[in-house]
Chain A
């Protein structure tokens, strides 16, 4: 092995992350599973092809700020989903922003242990 180590040339050496084992949970948080399922369901419904999806996702994961450990993968996944839904005229970003804020207010106003409902947003109905 006399050639320079390519790993140091590219600047992105691969290292197995700690805790990476066959039994690692598939999704780190529930929202990741939900976002995953939304894309799968919308593809099955025919809203976009899987090729369109792969193109949208690869645009996101190729963005300069992507984390080297892949921990932001589902953040990219979600961004790709939002971008496709915007392109398809299904969900305008302003509406997604407004509803996200509404869900956060609703969560805050919901006593622990009870289901969070959008109606629990103190400002619900004013949008």
Chain B
């Protein structure tokens, strides 16, 4: 249909090229499909799910419900797997979930030092930095330094607790509800809850704030302003 040539001297604007990684994935797909181990349509469905349907909005709904419903919060603290599943979010790998609650005394941070275990069900696929070696090592060695990179400075007396995820047990952080949000509905509250606030590298937005960086406690914290 085109005037393209099949010569060794190829034209990058017209030829398709598969990079080596893409070609290897195609090769695996071919083998697995021929063996009946995968259904290409199911693969597409998984991609679609994780690109568009599963993401931090799920976790935000969990947190907003915990903020507004003490019974749910208690259930979430006791049996996060079941409480989260009650909202329709279930783990594909049968992993257990534990929700760790921030308090005025303790700030929680999640990491996977071994690889990249992450609460997919509620947060989707992890950000690049979560999977990178510096975060995986520094979150444990120097959590305050890591938090500072995210612009998050906690009061000196706040304890930072780091939770190392595994294939079987994944954590999510339940941040503290920002002040001056008593009038907000569950849906409105959910909009304040960022992905990073559920990893522990951030805090929820404050009502009316234009972006991340809202600090808790909102005032009277030495060094809180950047």
- Which A positions have Cβ atoms within 8 angstroms of B? 5-7, 9-10, 12-17, 20, 22, 24, 26-27, 29-38, 40-45, 47, 50-51, 53-55, 57-58, 61, 66-71, 73-75, 78, 81-82, 85, 90-91, 95-104, 107-112, 114, 116, 118
Q: Complex formed: what's the CA distance from A127 to B32 in Å?
A: 17
Nearest A residue (CB) for B212 = A22
Chain B residues with CB under 8 Å of A32's CB are 21
| B95 pairs with A75, CB closer than 8 A | no
Are B38 and A6 neighbours in the complex by a CB distance under 8 Å?
no
SS class, residues of chain A in contact with chain B: helix
Q: How far is the CB of A59 from chain B (nearest CB, A)?
A: 9
Contact A100 B42 (CB under 8 A): no
A63 and B195 CA atoms in complex are apart in Å by: 29
Quick one: given A6-B141, A34-B47, A58-B114, are A14 and B27 in contact (CB under 8 Å)? Answer: no
Contacts of B145 in A (CB 8 A): 5-7, 13-14
Q: Given A38-B32, A90-B32, A109-B6: A74 and B129 within 8 A (CB)?
A: no
Q: Which residues from A are CB-within-8-Å of B104? A: none
In the bound assembly, the distance between CA atoms of A91 and B31 in angstroms comes to 7
Q: B10 contacts the other chain (Cβ, under 8 Å)? A: yes
Q: In the assembled complex, which residues on chain A have CB atoms less than 8 Å from the CB atom of B167?
A: 50-51, 53-55
- Interface size on B, as a range, is 35 or more
Residues in B lying within 8 Å of A, measured CB to CB: 1-2, 4, 6, 10, 13-32, 35, 37-39, 42-44, 46-47, 50-51, 55-56, 92-95, 114-117, 124-125, 127-135, 137-139, 141-142, 145-146, 149-150, 166-168, 194-196, 212
A-side contacts of B13, CB under 8 Å? 112
Q: Are B166 and A42 in contact (CB under 8 A)?
A: no
- Of all chain B residues, which has the CB nearest A35? B25
Q: What residue in chain B is nearest A26 (Cβ atoms)?
A: B125
Contact A41 B46 (CB under 8 A): yes
Query: Could you tell me if B133 and A54 are in contact, using CB atoms closer than 8 angstroms?
Result: no
A-B contact count (CB 8 A): 219
- 10 example contacts (A-B, Cβ-Cβ < 8 A) are as follows A6-B145, A24-B128, A26-B55, A32-B21, A36-B125, A41-B39, A51-B167, A54-B117, A96-B24, A108-B15
Q: Which of A6, A32, A43, A68 has the most CB of B within 10 A?
A: A6
Residue of chain A at shortest CB distance from B166: A54
Which among B14, B21, B117, B166 has the greatest number of chain A C-beta atoms within 10 A?
B21
Chain B positions within 8 Å of A99 at CB level: 26-27, 30-31
Which of A31, A42, A104, A111 lies in contact with B2, CB distance below 8 A?
Answer: A111
**In the complex, what's the smallest C-beta–C-beta distance from B183 to chain A, in angstroms?**
25
Selected contact of B17 from candidates A36, A42, A53, A107, CB within 8 Å? A107
The answer to whether B92 touches A44, judged by C-beta atoms less than 8 angstroms apart, is yes
Which residue of the partner chain B has the closest CB to A19?
Answer: B128
Residues from chain B with a CB closer than 8 A to the CB of A47 are 37
Task: Contact check, B29 vs A61: say whether CB atoms are below 8 A apart.
Answer: no
Closest chain A residue to B45 by CB distance?
A37
CA distance A58 to B117 in the complex (A): 10
A27-B125 contact, Cβ under 8 Å, with A38-B43, A96-B28: yes
